[in-house]
Chain A
Amino acid sequence: MKPYNPEQISRHMSRLLNWILLLACLTAGQLSALYAAESDTPLHAAAELFKSKKFDQKYQAIQLLESDGSEQAKEILVALMDSRLYTLKRDQRLIMLGRRSGSPGAVDALTGDSVGDVARGAMNKITLNNRMRSQIRNALAMLDLRNPDRLKRLAAVNQLLDRPDAASAALIQSLLEQESDEQIREAMEIVIALGKLSSGDKTERLAAVELLDGNIHPAVRNGLLKLQQSTDDEAFAAEIKQVLDNIKATLQFYSLVENIFFGLSLGSVLVLAAIGLAITFGVMGVINMAHGELIMLGAYATYVMQLLMPEHIGAALLLSIPVAFVISGLVGIGIERGVIRFLYGRSLETLLATFGISLILQQTVRSIFSPLNRSVEAPSWMSGSWEINSALSLTLNRLYIIAFCLLVFAALFLVLKRTPLGLQVRAVSQNRAMARAMGVRSEWVDAMTFGLGSGIAGVAGVALSQLTNVGPNLGQSYIIDSFMVVVFGGVGNLWGTLVSGMGLGIANKFLEPWSGAVLAKILVLVFIILFIQKRPRGLFPQKGRAAEG
């Protein structure tokens, strides 16, 4: 403990300041009440005031507690907020009940001495109204503003931002100089400026308005709007309008950014679901209607992993990525070896057979896991959001999905471009007979390629499990979308799939507010149907004679 801690000194100073303020507040009408109480500290004064039935006096009491600023005052305020503050009937002492209801041991609010169990009938509750509640919240925030913990101070100032009032603005002014944290200072300045908006001095008001220019906190907008309506000065009103317009433009920009973000996250889901298909359908030309069910298997793999490791949700999620890849990949290879291999060159039959497989997989899952939806838990590091400012916050799980999608895409791209398997896959897809003549085991390549595409579907399932419930019909709802993404992007073109998936996602999100979610989906579908009629080979077609026919 250092004897001359500057913070402590400043706290004493501010307490002194509060005292002066308090004295100013207590004008003649209230003085009598104050004298009546044996008031040696603000706490005692407040305690006396609380015993009054009048709300006016209670407001003062809260103010007193706030200016006192001690831990005890804070505790009393919290107790009051929670309706745990009572007066004892027998000696009018102010007491606080324990935090948990029914917990024994009320204590004297002023001295902290235990008063033991008190029967319900032996005490009177200090009643609250809404104005008091809001006053208490602000008072608590003011108290927190002096807290050494940075995060507490930040939360407190944000609390004040939501319900700014002139009194707290004046108090904050005194705290501003001691505040070292830039972010908190900024927020404090806004509170002060908001307070000054109602100041009588015109230049001060104008300065406040200018200070608030470009600030997107909702409180700023509300304050300015109120001022705009109340002011008679037209030039001033125009000034406010200009500032408000700036704020609106900024807000619009952020909502655009937010929409694009939502669109990208939806697009990432689409790309994840479609990218495996881009391999099996695009590169191999095999139409796999069971692709959606491979996604579903991946989602169920995540669910099972969480069942196996209930203590480590996050680790289970990470582990389920390789597990889902392997499971879906193996099932995919099974499908290729067991069915599709007999149907090469007969794409319509392949479509039907794989559809049959999708029915079987669905029903299998239904028999094992029941037809009900299962929910997969999100690990703590995936929940929450990244608040960039008060108008824009990006939810973490969506951010992760976007990042994950790009990661999977990049990995797949590297596999196809940089590994021997990728080389062989491309060779087989371009000219099977030639590749075979060159010694490529085309059957093995087929199985591996299909396994790869299916495995990616499983990985997509892991991602999907974080967004929706896991059920037997999960895959069905994605299969048509996935095909649309692949066809729209141009079959056989991974970049096309990425662009079309993201594009469709964004288009969907921008249509949604205008048309509603279902109609947006229909419109996008109809758009693709029409688009494919116009450009049958998609956005990025493969050209040349080889692509004909």
Chain B
Amino acid sequence: MGLLKLLQQDRGGQVFLGLLALAAVLVPLLNQLLPESHALHLSTYTVTLLGKYLAFALLAIAVDLAWGYLGILSLGHGAFFALGGYAMGMYLMRQIGERGVYGDPVLPDFMVFLNWDALPWFWYGFDMFWFAALMVMLAPGLLAFVFGWLAFRSRVTGVYLSIMTQALTYALMLAFFRNEMGFGGNNGLTDFKELLGFDLQADSTRIGLFVVTALMLALGYIVCRAIVQSRLGRVAVAVRDAEDRTRFVGYRVEHVKLAIFTFSAVLAGIAGALYVPQVGIINPGEFSPLNSIEIVIWVAVGGRGTLYGAAAGALMVNYGKTYLTGALPEVWLFALGALFVLVTILLPRGLIGLMKRRGATS
């Protein structure tokens, strides 16, 4: 009932969730039932690619929640995404067990390679899925909490905050590149074998991952929508538009920001955890400032302040990226750069905003 009420006013959300449900049903069917020669057949590769896009869409929703509704342009959400990914990657590493190149029952290959003789303490517990799942949320959540607590309390706002978040992810990238950190250094974590006992190379697992990602995206959307529709969501927008006024009305702006920013980071972490088993690798490159800022452009293209718009933007830009890096690799960065410039100047409300305006005028 609550769900229906939530979506009653949300035409875009209805369409988005409808399409998502359709995809969750249709994609596995097209992959499994149609013969490979059929024109509409989807290869397992494509299914995984779509799953990856959906994880990105969830990430975009998380960024939109912070940027579109709270006014915090985070250039460091890639860090939360990567932390969630690393937590999942650590679980997958522990699952490899003796099947690694060096055959050590406990130590992942890279540790054997570095001549480590024992598991570092922060790797304990990652052989259990529930623990890893907890860490997927806790690690980015905690980082966002601590960072936000420091930043919001001292009222660092606007571009300063953006640059601080960028410095954060940059520092993390440098740190994770170090072998001494114990996260596989340059190469990151890879060569995963199985997840919860399912072979990661199997078609069925990949379809399963796709469906789970679609479900999590739907769930993430609904929760975000609920937050946005609540009074807290309205307070967040109030903070975005007139921070001082919100304070004088009696809201503790810092706490509002902290709560939503942390939640957004957790969501990003979950997206990272869904992403890693599908692409089969996580490395420090995910922390690069470029990655984080790319997420922002997905949101800007789709239209910030509309959650489904952010998701749509993520899907479109990533499809474009896959297409261009395949067909015309040198054009991709030009296209991305131009996208940044054009969207900010010509489409401040994104494609969804454009469609809304068209709808309003006609």
Contacts and interface: CB of A to CB of B under 8 A. Distances in A.
Asked whether any CB of A lies within 8 Å of a CB of B in the complex, the reply is yes
A223 B267 CA distance: 67
Interface stretch (B189-197, B208-216, B333-341): B333-341
B167 A355 contact: no
A360 B171 CA distance: 25
A362 B334 CA distance: 9
Interface in A475-523: 476, 480, 483-484, 487, 518-519, 521-522
A349 B345 CA distance: 8
B293 A484 contact: no
B228 interface: no
Contacts of B178: 518-519
A532 interface: yes
B341 to A, nearest CB: 4
Contacts of A268: none
Interface in B325-356: 330, 333-334, 336-341, 343-345, 348
Contacts of B290: 476
B157 to A, nearest CB: 9
Given A519-B178, A536-B154, A529 B297 contact: no
A429 B147 CA distance: 31
A238 interface: no
A362 B340 CA distance: 14
Interface string B266-296: 0000000000000000000000011001001
Contacts of A484: 163, 167
Given A518-B174, A519-B178, A536-B156, A351 B164 contact: no
B264 interface: no
B153 interface: yes
Contacts of B340: 352-353, 355-357, 359
A493 to B, nearest CB: 15
Contacts of A533: 150-151, 153-154, 156
A348 interface: yes
B331 to A, nearest CB: 9
A357 B338 CA distance: 7
Nearest to B75: A351
Nearest to B334: A363
B301 to A, nearest CB: 11
A360 B338 contact: yes
A366 interface: yes
Contacts of A519: 175, 178
For B150, B166, B171, the residue with the greatest tally of chain A CB atoms inside 10 Å of its CB is B171
Interface stretch (A23-31, A62-70, A339-347): A339-347
B339 A356 contact: yes
Contacts of B339: 356
Contacts of B166: 480, 483
B289 A529 contact: no
Contact of A339 (B174, B297, B334, B345): B345
Given A352-B297, A356-B338, A522 B174 contact: yes
A357 B154 contact: no
B160 interface: yes
B333 A363 contact: yes
A141 to B, nearest CB: 46
Interface in A529-549: 529-530, 532-536
A532 B158 CA distance: 13
A487 B341 contact: no
A211 B37 CA distance: 94
Nearest to A358: B337
Greatest chain A CB density within 10 A among B150, B153, B344 is at B344
B168 interface: yes
A348 B162 contact: yes
Given A359-B340, A367-B330, A483-B166, 4 more contacts: A360-B337, A363-B333, A364-B334, A487-B163
Nearest first, the 10 A-B pairs at minimum CB distance are A356-B340, A359-B337, A360-B337, A363-B333, A533-B150, A525-B171, A356-B337, A353-B344, A349-B344, A356-B341
17 contacts: A352-B296, A352-B340, A353-B340, A356-B340, A356-B341, A360-B341, A362-B333, A363-B337, A364-B334, A366-B333, A480-B170, A483-B167, A518-B175, A522-B175, A525-B174, A529-B147, A529-B171
Interface of A: 287, 339, 342-343, 346-353, 355-360, 362-364, 366-367, 476, 480, 483-484, 487, 518-519, 521-522, 525-526, 528-530, 532-536
